[in-house]
Structure 1
Amino acid sequence: MTDTPRKTPDTLRSARWFAPDDLRSFGHRSRAMQMGYAPEEWAGKPVIAILNTWSDANPCHAHFKTRVEDVKRGVLQAGGFPMELPALSLSESFVKPTTMLYRNMLAMEAEELLRSHPVDGAVLMGGCDKTTPGLLMGATSAGLPMIFMPAGPMLRGNWKGKVLGSGSDAWKFWDERRAGNISDQDWVDIEGGIARSYGHCMTMGTASTMTAITEAIGLTLPGASSIPAADAGHIRMASTCGRRIVEMVWEDLVPARIQTRDAFENAIAVAMAMGCSTNAIIHVVAMARRAGCDISLDDFDAASRVVPLIANVRPSGDQYLMEDFFYAGGLPGLMTRLRDHLHLDALTVSGRTLGEDIAHAEIHNDDVIRPIDNPVYAEGALAVLRGNLSPDGCVIKPSACEPRFLKHTGPALVFDDYPAMKAAIDRDDLDVTADHVLVLRNAGPQGGPGMPEWGMLPIPKKLVKQGIRDMVRISDARMSGTSYGACILHVSPESYVGGPLALLRTGDLVTLDVPGRRLDMEVSEEELARRRAELAPPPARYERGYGWMFNKHIRQAHEGCDFDFLETGFGAPVVEPDIF
């Protein structure tokens, strides 16, 4: 770590609230004493904010109600003063229309909580999909020392002796039920067995993807991202986070020293090797822009061509789940096999370099974490496509789709909204074949609104009964990171703002070429110009409140879907609040 002067008690940020001999600070001290705290508990000590995204409506964070006490224990052991601050929970399971609509709200809240309170550093408690990027984006903009404490994956699911993976097996067995192969009682039993402990999805969905990415950036303790939520090691990790953040405050180890371009390139390489969720692109681009790093879709595509997928974890893998990945060596083990693709001198929250953090890591199962020369998939998890359907880019997860669709041409079957698709998809008289390209539009950042996880369009019921389990599907929406199939997502610009997807019509031929990184509709420029002239502007999604602000300021998918006014460089940095 580079030499940086250590903080002293008088230079702590919290001292501006508590140390001066004036009336305003008298009020701060007296109110702390009102809560039962003696001056000896805070005076001259780092005050640590613990941003806790627990709620009764978030099963992924059900353990945070008690786990926060373990973080506090660590803070107290290290000589700090913990201050728990509740933050927006964003339960992927229950929030409608989508948690993505509120990721930036959590980012704003995290930033303002840290800026407005008398705190010197922060522990960020998150893990459910949007909580990780939301907390990190806000804390990055606040600029205080911070460490991320991941929720951890839940335990393996189980049904009749079969190992179930959350999300992935839900889609799989739902199709079997639609085909008449699963009874009502079986379905109830699957519901009770697929998610049997607290913690986030144990497949390589968005939650596990984003916590792994956070570790690769250097913002978690080494190995923290894959510890199962129900493991006693998770409790120990939580208290270690509390101890470490106190020392980080004294070291003045702020996010800007960690979140360099090299750190984000490490994260992208790890994402490719993990079989990451497609959502990773949107979140990492947004996180990098907050940190002042120019990361784009092209960085992901470049990495995908040279970094093989070596984590044999569903949905890209064929068998294992995050619990198995943890026992096999976890992320430190995986990164030992990626040394040639990593910047090992990147600094982490441990105060050491990434190379030092993984120096003694081991791999205990070569089938779970494959050798480079025996990958699950020869290229990385994602591919970025461009063409006249998506000039600013879109994404596909080729490792999770049937190989026959990597090059495909078929007629489009277009749905203008989710209700129209849902009403038609189970009709026995739907005019569709396995070669059709299913299209859902008006489901992007503004059109959704909030870019819901609708991109894994269901296979038409008539085809499910014929045994069809994959088709090419295109959308300006996202899909769950636990999903699979030949789904092309994040089409940008979105159709709702006049992107080319708005011009596509049922029957038009669409050509997908993953090796060539192309997605095109076989329609002449003259015909497209005629159709564009006929486009009518869509009605406003919101006329008031947060939704109105969202639609006025949201960026497109290829730009990370952050609010324009929150990005680095939009305006002058926010000054520290005055104490008067």
Structure 2
Amino acid sequence: MTGLRSDNWYGGDNRDGYIHRAWMRRGLPQSAFEGRPQIAIANTASDLTPCNAHFNEVAESVKQGVYEAGGIPQNLPVMSLGETNVRPTAMLWRNLAAMSMEEMFRANPVDGVVLLGGCDKTIPALLMAAASVDLPAVVIPGGPMLSGSFRGRPMACGTDIWKLSEDVRAGAMTQELFQRSESSMIRSRGHCNTMGTASTMGIVAEALGMTIPGLAGTPAADSRLLEASHATGRLAVDLVRSDRRPSQVITKAAFHNAIVALGAIGGSTNAVVHLLAIAGRLGVDLSLDDFDRIGSNVPMLVNLQPAGEYLMEDLFRAGGPLAVLQQVKDLLDPSAITVTGKPLVDYLTDQEIWDSAVIGTRDAPIQDHAGIAVLQGNLAPLGAIIKPAAATPALLTHRGRAVVFDSVEDCHARIDDPDLEVDADSVLVLRGCGPKGYPGMPEVSNMPLPTKLLQQGIRDMVRICDGRMSGTAYGTVVLHVAPEAAAGGPLALVRDGDMIELDVPNRVLRLDVSDEELATRSAEPAMTESVAHPLRGWEKLYVDHVGQADTGVDLDFLVGATGNAVGRESH
């Protein structure tokens, strides 16, 4: 190990060294500043981010591991985003969180970082920041909650909300019973117990090589999470001494493996924008085409809601993500290493499946060819995506009349209107919900179905939107349409009654309107008036600089790594 980065603060006998050491002593011995790696624990714990509320306990286990390995741990609270609480959408602040984390990692006397992330946007933001600074880093996913139950059956966090709320609207469940289920859903600490975005990003972080192999998917309430956190603290010190950095781990080969993992677990569509953003920070050439080329033919092996039956606690007891990856080992890039320095595939030699109902085999998958599909056509010149595993198979090839909503508010106001001209074959179109339009690209693409159709027994329709969808949601939903309507995309030109063709097998999303006709149209005033027009603050900065879904929805001035050098000394 060469000289430590933190020596630039703590080394020497001059006044600056004195100031830095004196203010940090607080009972620490002199040896704390003599060649011992300073490890920041980037802690997203917050009472307002309930999925991450246990991270202070996790951080204590990390500290013990750091001390044991000869390092000095420093708790560093960083910006936290609770998906269920912040409005208008947590995605509006993913880039702000990543930017603030990056600046704190760079500005402080730290040699390496342990990244504590759980709720949806925290792991992506932490990885984006770590990629930009390129200090030795390792992730601890906070883990899913234990499975709750209601009326004798498991409760799927998130997914059951969509199902039960639709049952209420259809008259199949009383409002009183719906309210009673509320206290049954969240049984313990931890994030959603479905294969939502939080679960997906924890497993994707492992597939990228950024966790201790075998850690992802460990339930938050399981004591083995603390054991692994202790080991991660030890590893962080080794990462500094070995000078092993994110840029060496998160390579194009690692993204290949993450895309394979995403298909095999039936993961959240949100992973697409997050992986594209992380790649942008590293300068790795990753595109939507890679998701289709690498992942579209990957078999889905994990039978978890929303695409299947079980929950994350079941996946853990059935063998965990490594047992899944072993089944698709031949599809992985063997050159990709993990934070341990060993290739990911080296950990896929003796993994066993303990419950084949939860984890399918390569010969008996849950679904064939279930990876994210990327659609092209005149309605999405820069692409759109769909998750076939969560869709109704019969609707993956469909043609229907557009029913257009110009905003989320417009949808809420008219979706249950008994006079709405809609039937089961219609295609619901919601626009103005992209990165610039909302702003922040909210999870509204899985819009509710009209009550009059729910009462007829209809439970899915083709829906198209320039926003996102919760990883816990399901349905035949085309989302991330790019360019978005607010950025001049063709979605802004769709009118009620236009015919729309969806052909997932052939990757087509087409508006059956001629180019000549489209050239005569302009965006509806109701849509242009509804999109964001911020005058100040973060929202204005965001709207002025945010990119589109096909490049990861990052800010244009944050793309590319900056490194960890500090521009000026403060004294």
TM-score category by the smaller chain? over 0.9
Q: CA deviation at 1:534?
A: 8.3
Shifted more, 285-294 versus 489-498: the winner is 285-294
Equivalent position amino acid for 1:97 in 2: P
Contact 1:412 1:505 survives alignment (8 Å): yes
Equivalent position amino acid for 1:428 in 2: P
Question: What is the aligned partner in structure 2 of residue 103 from structure 1?
Answer: 94
Q: 1:352 to 1:281 in 2, by over 3 A?
A: same
1:404 equivalenced with 2:379 (yes/no):
no
Equivalent position amino acid for 1:412 in 2: A
Question: What is the aligned partner in structure 2 of residue 559 from structure 1?
Answer: 551
1:262 equivalenced with 2:253 (yes/no):
yes
Partner of 1:326: helix, strand, or coil? Answer: helix
1:331 equivalenced with 2:321 (yes/no):
yes
Contact 2:106 2:564 survives alignment (8 Å): no
1:125 equivalenced with 2:121 (yes/no):
no
Equivalent position amino acid for 1:396 in 2: I
1:312 equivalenced with 2:307 (yes/no):
no
Question: What is the aligned partner in structure 2 of residue 143 from structure 1?
Answer: 134
1:172-227 Cα offsets, whole Å, 9 max, x none, are: 11111112222233212211111211111111111111111110010001111110
Contact 1:278 1:481 survives alignment (8 Å): yes
Equivalent residues in 2 for 1:146-545, closer than 5 Å = 146-317=137-308, 319-532=309-522, 541-545=533-537
Contact 1:222 1:358 survives alignment (8 Å): no
Partner of 2:75: helix, strand, or coil? Answer: strand
Contact 1:115 1:577 survives alignment (8 Å): no
1:78 and 1:123 map into 2 onto residues whose CA distance is 14
1:215 and 1:101 map into 2 onto residues whose CA distance is 25
2:343 and 2:507 map into 1 onto residues whose CA distance is 35
Contact 2:134 2:563 survives alignment (8 Å): no
Question: What is the aligned partner in structure 1 of residue 19 from structure 2?
Answer: 27
Contact 1:288 1:295 survives alignment (8 Å): yes
1:121-175 Cα offsets, whole Å, 9 max, x none, are: 0000001111111000001111100000101011112101111111111101111
Question: What is the aligned partner in structure 2 of residue 92 from structure 1?
Answer: 83
Q: What's the % identity of the aligned pairs?
A: 47
Q: 1:354 to 1:533 in 2, by over 3 A?
A: closer
Q: CA deviation at 1:537?
A: 6.2
2:524 and 2:384 map into 1 onto residues whose CA distance is 25
1:77-124 Cα offsets, whole Å, 9 max, x none, are: 111101111111100010111110000011111111110000000000
Q: CA deviation at 1:574?
A: 6.7
Contact 1:121 1:145 survives alignment (8 Å): yes
Contact 1:439 1:474 survives alignment (8 Å): yes
Contact 2:114 2:140 survives alignment (8 Å): yes
Contact 1:437 1:473 survives alignment (8 Å): yes
Equivalent position amino acid for 1:545 in 2: G
Q: CA deviation at 1:406?
A: 0.8
Equivalent position amino acid for 1:105 in 2: L
1:184 and 1:254 map into 2 onto residues whose CA distance is 52
2:523 and 2:354 map into 1 onto residues whose CA distance is 61
1:40 equivalenced with 2:40 (yes/no):
no
1:452-508 Cα offsets, whole Å, 9 max, x none, are: 001001010111111110000000000100000010000000001110000000111
Q: CA deviation at 1:322?
A: 0.8
1:256-301 Cα offsets, whole Å, 9 max, x none, are: 1111100110000110111011111111111111111111111111
Equivalent position amino acid for 1:179 in 2: A
Q: CA deviation at 1:540?
A: 5.3
Partner of 2:500: helix, strand, or coil? Answer: strand
TM-score of the two chains, using structure 1 as the length reference: 0.96
Q: CA deviation at 1:19?
A: 1.2
2:350 and 2:40 map into 1 onto residues whose CA distance is 32
1:439 and 1:306 map into 2 onto residues whose CA distance is 28
Runs of 5+ unmatched residues, structure 1: 1-6
Q: CA deviation at 1:573?
A: 5.6
Q: CA RMSD in A?
A: 1.5
1:232-262 Cα offsets, whole Å, 9 max, x none, are: 1111111111111011110101111111100
Q: 1:125 to 1:530 in 2, by over 3 A?
A: same
Equivalent position amino acid for 1:458 in 2: P
Q: 1:17 to 1:573 in 2, by over 3 A?
A: closer
TM-score of the two chains, using structure 2 as the length reference: 0.97
Contact 2:444 2:468 survives alignment (8 Å): yes
Partner of 2:377: helix, strand, or coil? Answer: coil
Q: CA deviation at 1:36?
A: 2.6
Contact 2:133 2:563 survives alignment (8 Å): no
Shifted more, 188-197 versus 245-254: the winner is 188-197
Provide runs of 4+ in structure 1 moved above 4 Å. Answer: 533-540
1:282-337 Cα offsets, whole Å, 9 max, x none, are: 111111111111111111111233311111111111x1111111111111111111
2:363 and 2:305 map into 1 onto residues whose CA distance is 20
Q: CA deviation at 1:351?
A: 2.1
Question: What is the aligned partner in structure 1 of residue 43 from structure 2?
Answer: 52
Runs of 5+ unmatched residues, structure 2: none
Partner of 2:12: helix, strand, or coil? Answer: coil
